[in-house]
Amino acid sequence: MPVRIVLAAAMLVAISSSLAAGPVDELVTAAKQALENGDKDKALALATKAVEADPKDSQGYVARASVHHARKEYDKAVLDYGKVIELVPSLTIAYQRRGEEFFRLGKFKESVADFDKVLELQPGQAPYHWQRGISLYYAGEFERGAKQFELHKTVNPDDVENAVWHYLCVARASGIEKAKQGLIPIQGDARVPMMQVHALFAGKATPDDVMKAAEAGSPGAPERKQRLFYAHLYVGLFNEAAGQAATAKEHILLAAEKYAEDDYMGDMARVHAALLHKPAQK
């Protein structure tokens, strides 16, 4: 089953379990089952029937938003999550999911606003909210982004990606040298080739070192694809921060268009690629 369908079905279960049961339960359950079976058209029809059966029951909108996500209809998912929020204004996860969909649409300020609302409702989640840091970066709020990644370090100290995104924020706010000086130290990210990526941003490795590490050891096809995604993505972002736009674009487009999976970081790469295809709007 495609990853995005699995995630959408899980999203539906997670949010629906937070809501009171109502007369649309059977339709929502059937929509969930259809989505898990990969029948997105049937799932959409059932979720729409749930909305029509009781427009004041938020479960129908949750179900339909999840189906829209699986169909990559992010603008429609945003509208349905908006209805959920109208009906249940305190439902944190609805702001979270809408913020993620806004990001996928390239609406970064709206994404940040929803993620800020998540933290207003659940302040204890602030250290964990790395997605907010990425949205802040793309919204041009580099200092706030750097602070978010510094906070995330307290709960995820060995994540090279967190260190890299902190670097990227600082580089945009204060320059490459300050970013390099403030690079968050990492000891134990076991993912290949993440330690080579960290060394690249520290000035202790080259892009070739990262690419060679990604190919080392004859990995199987799925592992190789994942390695090359992260290698091309972060080599591209490194080159972009250094002002090497053409090389950056080559690597980021490879990451987004050849190696990305249907997950949040894959979506992030696709969002960045879309910006590269529209250079006047970067």
Tell me the CATH number at 92: 1.25.40.10
How many domains does one find in the chain? Answer: 3
- pLDDT (0 to 100) of residue 282: 42
21-28: which pairs have CB atoms within 8 A and are 24 or more residues apart?
Answer: 22/54, 22/57, 22/59, 23/53, 23/54, 23/57, 24/50, 24/51, 24/53, 24/54, 24/57, 24/59, 24/60, 25/59, 27/53, 27/60, 27/63, 28/59, 28/60, 28/62, 28/63
Task: Tell me, yes or no, whether 111 and 200 share the same domain.
Answer: no
With a cut of 50, say whether residue 281 has pLDDT above it: no
Task: Tell me, yes or no, whether 68 and 165 share the same domain.
Answer: no
For residue 208, give its domain range: 191-282
pTM as predicted: 0.91
* Least reliable range by pLDDT among 15-29, 147-161, 171-185, 248-262: 15-29
Task: Tell me, yes or no, whether 14 and 95 share the same domain.
Answer: yes
Which domain-ending residue is among 136, 169, 189?
A: 189
- pLDDT (0 to 100) of residue 23: 73
Task: Tell me, yes or no, whether 112 and 138 share the same domain.
Answer: no
